[in-house]
Structure 1
Amino acid sequence: MDDADPYGYGEDVHVADIGLTWVASKWSIPEALLPEDVERYIPGGSPSAFWSGVAEVAVDDFDRSKARQLGQDIRRLVESPVPDEAIHTVWLGATHGVLDPAGDGLDARSFLLQLEEAWLARVRREDAAYPPPPPEPVVDEEVCRAVLGVLQPVADDLDRAVRATSYGVVPTGLVPALEQVVTDACADLGYRLFLGAMKAYFVEIDQRSHDAFRALGERFGYPEFLVGDNLNHQG
């Protein structure tokens, strides 16, 4: 695989997200459903059932080599020392507090394992022996510092946007939770969850942050539009 494109997404110019953050980016779908479609897409009104369905769709929307990123992301969090409460908080942040897994009585890790189960079941319909991929978290200290370096200048703006919202479950302590994921789980996933929160709460950024965000995305080898899609850049 090309070192400049570690995930192999370079050819997919229209991909706007990957892995767990692709799943999280679907947070607005339930609000857009017509009443007659709710039961079809959210059986019994169950939040976890909706998200499990999205995890299955990831296999259909991406080929298996790319859908594996979802499994890696899940394991990056589940196997990390990051407290369950912090994982729950970053999930709420990336989804604007929509369909909180606690609504189904699930803690964050149980919810992620349910996503993994749904994803694996879909993959194994075509390959019964498919092994879950290793998490391979990005834990290099210099890369972690680089992610924190783009997060911290906009941390106060993100915090204000979260506290000002009246929509969804408010992810209290979002910035510290994101920092924990970056340093204690995976810098790559932490950065994508941070971007997801910035987009979900429509936090405006200046040209300097925009350029820094894009440069870091290129460093990770993200698809062309992953960073900029739905980002509130008023440049």
Structure 2
Amino acid sequence: MILTDGKESENCCPEDVYVTDVGLTWIASRWSVVDMFDREPDRHPRPEGGPLAEWLGFASLAVDEFDRSKAMQLGQDVQRLLRSPLPENTIRTAWLGATHGLFDPAEYGISARTWLRRAEAAWLARARQDDSAFVPLPPQPVVDEELRRDVLQVIHPASGRLSHEAQDPPFGAPVTGLVPALERVVTEACADLGYRFFLRAMKAYQVPADRGSLVALGERFGYPYWLVREGLNDRTD
């Protein structure tokens, strides 16, 4: 579930109006910003540390982008993966698919888990500028078997198209084994995070989807109103 101040979020609350993603998948969604500025480099000065520094900057920015409760989601997501039994390549593949193949930690000589730790450190450093005593909550992965099953059920109809688009993209690195990786995140780490990774990949590769069923499942996770809807290639339109 999306974290709130002690309760699940209400759908379409005023503070949720412009929230189109949260946590680790919000950082992944920044691939579109990176791609836009890569196409127009003269209009965007890049960090001296290169792409890795740019992505770590997004982790810091998450603190400023959201209210405190939603800003905490990044720490939750990172720990849900780090404390899971998922192998390195599964985490890397799920992340790579969510970023349209535009940010692969391996290109910078680090593992996916090392990238997660660095992102968490950047986020914590920024959060502690405002509150030096800030301590993240322990991870609360969604392990409900019914929710896991229902996420897998919505992934299945899109699996063939999503796999094809990820393996043969118009730009970005090809991603092999994306759907099995997403399914393992759902079943071995967290149903909520696995679902958001799936949604992010569907939007990245513009795979047609039945918005109604995806929105209905998102409501069960307590997602902000636009988290599922924004950027989705709705085949029912």
TM-score for the superposition, normalised by structure 1: 0.92
Shift of 1:59: 0.6
Specify the alignment match of 1:76 in structure 2: 80
Deviation, 1:7, is 4.1
1:35 aligns with 2:36: no
Residue 213 (1) aligns with residue 214 (2):
yes
Does residue 108 in structure 1 map to residue 112 in structure 2?
A: yes
| C-alpha distance in 2 between matches for 1:42 and 1:230 | 27
CA distance in structure 2 between the aligned counterparts of 1:153 and 1:223, rounded to whole angstroms = 24
Return the letter of the residue paired with 1:183: T
**Equivalent position of 1:148 in the other structure:** 152
On the 8 A contact 1:41/1:50 being kept in 2, the answer is yes
Structure 2: distance between partners of 1:160 and 1:168: 14
CA contact (8 A) 2:23 2:77 kept: yes
Deviations 1:137-193 (A, max 9, x none): 001111100100111111111111112214111121000000000000000000000
Q: Distance in 2 between matches of 1:213 and 1:21?
A: 16
Report how far residue 210 of structure 1 moved.
1.9
Change (3 A) 1:7 1:48: farther
- Over the matched positions of the two proteins, sequence identity in percent amounts to 53
* Matches of 1:101 and 1:154, distance apart in 2: 26
Write out per-residue CA displacement over residues 65-122 of structure 1, whole angstroms, 9 at most, x where no aligned residue. 2100011001001110011100000001100011211121110000000000000000
User: 8 Å contact 1:64–1:123 — kept in the other structure?
Assistant: no
**Paired residue total:** 229
The residue that corresponds to 1:128 in the other structure is 132
Partner of 1:44: 49
C-alpha distance in structure 2 between counterparts of 1:73 and 1:194, whole Å? 14
The alpha-carbon distance between structure 1 residues 204 and 219, as it changes in their structure 2 partners (threshold 3 A), is same
2:231 equivalent to 1:230 = yes
Query: Which residue of the partner structure matches residue 183 of structure 2?
Result: 179
Letter in structure 2 aligned against 1:6: E
2:24 to 16, 20, 23: 20
Measured after TM superposition, the shift of residue 35 of structure 1 is: 2.5
Structure 2: segments with no counterpart, 5+ residues: none
1:33-77 deviation digits (Å, cap 9, x = unpaired): 242455x433232x3211110011111111222100011001001
The one-letter code sitting in structure 2 at the alignment partner of 1:43 is E
2:230 counterpart letter in structure 1: D
1:222 partner letter:
Y
Q: CA RMSD in A?
A: 1.9
Deviations 1:187-223 (A, max 9, x none): 0000000000000000012xxx321101100100101
Q: 1:8 to 1:116 in 2, by over 3 A?
A: farther
166-175 or 106-115, larger mean C-alpha shift: 166-175
- Whether 1:192 and 2:193 are equivalent positions in the alignment is no
* Partner SS, residue 228 of structure 2: coil
Rounded to whole Å, the distance in 1 between the matches of 2:48 and 2:43 is: 10
Report if aligned partners of 1:16, 1:225 keep a CA contact under 8 Å in 2: yes
